[in-house]
Structure 1
Amino acid sequence: MKEPKPIQKDAYSLILDAIDLGLYKPGDRLVESELADRFGVSRTPVREALQRLETQSMLSRDGRSLIVASLDHNQLAELYVVRTELEGLAARLAARHATEEETRVLRSMVEEDRKLIGDPSALARANRRFHKQVHLASHNRYLVQQLDLVHRSMALLASTSLAAEGRGETALAEHEAIVRAIELGDGDAAYQALKDHISKAFETRLKLDAGRRHLG
C-alpha cells in the first residue's frame, strides 16, 4: 500500500502563510521571481497569487511594485469591532456545542502556553491556535469562514500586542476565563469573556502604536 502524498500548498497559501508568520511584514516588497525561487514553484502561479492577494487588499501598489499592505488607525479600529463581535459569538456557540474533547483541548492549550510567557512570537502563534480552536468549537462553518477572513487581515499588523510587558500573563488569564465559561456551558459568560479579551488586546495595541509614534 502506497504512503499518501503530503498535501502540497499552492502559491497563494504559501505567500499568505509567510505574511502570517511575519516573514514578510507590512511595507515589504514582494518580487515574483524571488517568491518563485523561495517556494520552488513557477512564476505563473505566483503571479496569479499576487493578483489575488492584491484584490483582497492584502497587498498594495507602491509605484510598479507590490508591497504587503498595512492598516491605518481607522482600518484597525474597524477590524477590531468586527473581530470582537464575531469572536464573542464563536465563544457563545462553543459554550453550547463544544464536545468534551474540544474543551479538554482548550484547557490543555492554556496550561501548555504558560511555558511560553516571555517569548512573544511563540505566544502569538499559540494565541492564534487557541482562537482557531474556539472558532472550530462553535460548530458553525459560516462563522469560521468569516473569522478566517478577519484573522487573515490581522496578519497585516506588524507586531503582536503580546510583546507588551505583562500582556502575556494577563492574556492567558483571559484565556482561562474563556475556557472556564465554555466548560460550564455559560454562553453569556463566554461571549463576554472573549469580548473583554479582544478589547484588552486592542487597548494594548493602541498604546504600543502611540509609543512608537512618540519615539518616531
Structure 2
Amino acid sequence: MTATRDRSPSLTQTQSVYQSLRDAILGVELRPGEAISERWLEGRLAASRTPVRSALVRLEGEGLVQRQGRGYVVTPIDIGEIEQAYVFRETIETTVVRLAAARADALDLSGIEPLILPEVRDTSSDEWFDIGIAFHVELARLAGNAFFVRAIDDVMTRIARGRWLEIWSTGGRERAFIEHERIVELVKAGDGEAAAAAIQSHVRHGRDRLLDALKTQRRGFAVRGFAVLDGTEAD
C-alpha cells in the first residue's frame, strides 16, 4: 500500500483516479456501504469513464468496492473478515521477523528506520495511518521475499478502514510506536524468536483495540451511515 498521499505530476489519469478513489475509501470519506456510480465518480474526479471504470475494477480486486446491480457499493466493514485478517497477519508477520532476523547482518534498514524516528511520535493521525501501514510493509520487505510483501500489503488494505478508527487514540499510537521500535531492535539483534513474540503481541494488541472499537461503537457508526457487519450477516 502506498505510504503517502502525495500526487506525482507524472501519474497517468488512470493511476491518479485510482489513488484518489482509494484514499477516499480508506480514509472513510466514502463511507462503508455507500453506493457509487461511474457517472457520479466522473463528476467528482473530473475524469472520463475509462479511468474511472479501470479504477473500480482494480479496487474490486482489492476488496474495497463490490458490484451492486449496475453500479458499485463501497464494501462494508466486516468484523468477521477483520478477525480472520488478524489471524493471517500474525502467521505471516511472525514468519517475516524470524526470516529477517536470520539475515540481520545483510539487512537494508533504509526503508524502515525513518518510520521509527522520535519525531514520528508527533505526527498527525493522517500521517500515522500511513506510517503504520508502511512500517509493516517495510518489515515484510526485510524478509527478502516479495510474496510476503504483497501479502502484508493486501491484508493491511483489508483492515485499513477499521484501523482508521483506532489511530485517533493517542495512547494507542504511543504504544504501537514503542512496539515498532522494539521489533526492529530485536530483528537487528538477530533474535528471531523474541522478535516473533514481540510482533505477535503487537498484532494481538492492535486486533483487540480495533475489534473493541468496532463492536462497542457499531450503533453509532450506523447512525453516521457507516455499514459495519458483525461477521454473521449475509451480503
**TM-score bracket for this pair, using the shorter chain length:** 0.7 to 0.9
Indicate which of 57, 61, 64 corresponds to 1:51: 57
CA distance in 2 between counterparts of 1:213 and 1:203 reads 15
CA shift for structure 1 position 125: 1.5
Q: Which amino acid aligns with 1:73?
A: I
Q: Deviations over 1:99-128 (max 9, x none)?
A: 677336534421231122xx3332222111
Instruction: Identify which of 49, 67, 73 aligns with 2:73.
Output: 67
Measure the CA separation in 2 of the matches of 1:44 and 1:21. Answer: 24
Bigger mean CA offset, 21-30 vs 179-188:
21-30
How do residues 131-210 of structure 1 correspond to structure 2 at under 5 angstroms? 131-157=136-162, 159-210=164-215
Distance 1:48 1:105 in 2: 30
More helix by share: 1
Question: Which residue number in structure 1 is paired with residue 95 of structure 2?
Answer: 89
Identity %: 29
Give unmatched runs, 5+ long, in structure 2: 1-8, 224-235
Give the 3-state SS of the residue equivalent to 2:31 in structure 1. Answer: coil
Structure 2 CA distance for partners of 1:34 and 1:152, relative to 1, 3 Å: same
Q: How many residues align?
A: 210
User: 1:23 & 1:139 partners in 2: Cα distance?
Assistant: 35
RMSD: 2.8
Is residue 3 of structure 2 the alignment partner of residue 6 of structure 1? no
Conserved 8 A contact 2:66-2:75: yes
Mark the runs of 5 or more structure 1 residues left unpaired by the alignment.
none
Aligned to 1:115: 122
**Cα displacement (A) at 1:211:** 2.4
> Secondary structure in 2 aligned to 1:182?
helix
Provide the C-alpha distance between the structure 1 equivalents of 2:44 and 2:38, rounded to a whole number of angstroms. 10
Q: Provide the rounded CA distance (Å) in 1 between the counterparts of 2:112 and 2:61.
A: 35
Task: Give 1:80 deviation, angstroms.
Answer: 0.9
TM-score, normalised with respect to structure 1? 0.81
**CA, structure 1 residues 158+125, in 2 after alignment: closer, same or farther (shift >3 Å)?**
closer
2:112 match: secondary structure: helix
Match of 1:35 in 2: 41
161 and 98 in structure 1: CA distance in 2 versus 1, 3 angstrom threshold:
farther
Per the alignment, in what secondary structure is the counterpart of residue 77 of structure 2?
A: coil
Provide the rounded CA distance (Å) in 1 between the counterparts of 2:67 and 2:180.
38
- C-alpha spacing 1:175/1:32, structure 2 compared with 1 (3 Å): same
* CA offset digits 1:141-182 (Å, max 9, x no partner): 111122222122123437332223511111111111101101
Contact 1:161/1:205 (8 A) holds in 2: yes
Return the match for 2:32 from 26, 37, 47: 26
Higher deviation after alignment, 199-208 or 157-166: 157-166
Q: Which whole-Å deviations, capped at 9, do the CAs of 1:40-60 have from their partners, x for residues lacking one? A: 542023223323433553212
Q: TM-score if structure 2 supplies the norm length?
A: 0.75
